[in-house]
Structure 1
């Protein structure tokens, strides 16, 4: 499934194994997961740690696409029918008034000259 992918892949703790991590890393995919209780601690980039916390927003968007835009609830008899239904669901999502989002900006504090990460 990850044959042509590259970059970062955010996953649950249950998906990680050393052999899977090594094979994906050799293909250019960096898998980012939480740490299990029986694993050693390792350093993680701040951006990756924040994105793991914000996985619920990504799952909320997937839920909206599946249930509200009704992408999953149809049976397709052809590939073109599937693609038309998928594009119609994404177009319907584009017209939603409120969309979940992650705001990741750094603000500079004028008094101390320190950058602070703003998440919301």
Structure 2
């Protein structure tokens, strides 16, 4: 516990330099909530006062943070961003920072539906593909992209492993620094998993054309 403060910076450098994968043209994006206490104890919580915020996810309201992730088809984490719980997934600054090393197609859920965001990413060489909401017309996307949208469960499996195997989420933190160290440790530990959730996709080159074989 005493040595954690000394290795914080080297650990972050190691995480950024050695524990992230490379984009292969097929990428998935999602965010997962990290609650730091039960909703009934928000008003009595002191450790993250002024740091954590209330947010809403598919499971309801929570108090804590969001971990935003982008992975490739092999289940490797390409980029991550930790924000307060009330930060929108479509935040321009957030998305610009996370997609700097990304190219190709980026598949997300309905929470990433935004014309302005899609145009911004398109200008950076990234095609954002999401499912339409109920009150929207169906998007004109190819059958292959529809299949890949159904494979978006891959990143949800990654979030599940981070929480249930690596213990990303718990309510025993006694300082913000220890919370950040735990988060970095979880991401580093996931990198060394011998088997990650992945898709059986092989990229082959034939007559200088890229063929996707699943």
TM-score, normalization by structure 2: 0.40
RMSD over aligned Cα, in angstroms? 3.5
| Equivalence for 2:130 | 33
In structure 2, do the counterparts of structure 1 residues 75 and 48 end up closer, same or farther at CA, with 3 Å as the change threshold? farther
Q: Which consecutive unaligned segments of at least 5 residues does structure 2 have? A: 1-86, 100-105, 122-126
Are 2:212 and 1:117 aligned? yes
Distance 1:105 1:46 in 2: 18
Are 2:173 and 1:76 aligned? yes
2:107–2:152 CA contact under 8 A, matched in 1: no
More helix by share: 1
1:106–1:118 CA contact under 8 A, matched in 2: yes
Distance 2:134 2:108 in 1: 18
**CA displacement at 1:83 relative to structure 2:** 1.1
More strand by share: 2
Aligned residues: 111
TM-score, normalization by structure 1: 0.64
1:107–1:118 CA contact under 8 A, matched in 2: yes
Distance 1:115 1:32 in 2: 20
In structure 2, do the counterparts of structure 1 residues 108 and 90 end up closer, same or farther at CA, with 3 Å as the change threshold? closer
Higher relative contact order (CA 8 A, sep 6+): 2
In structure 1, which of residues 42, 45, 50 is the aligned counterpart of residue 139 of structure 2?
42
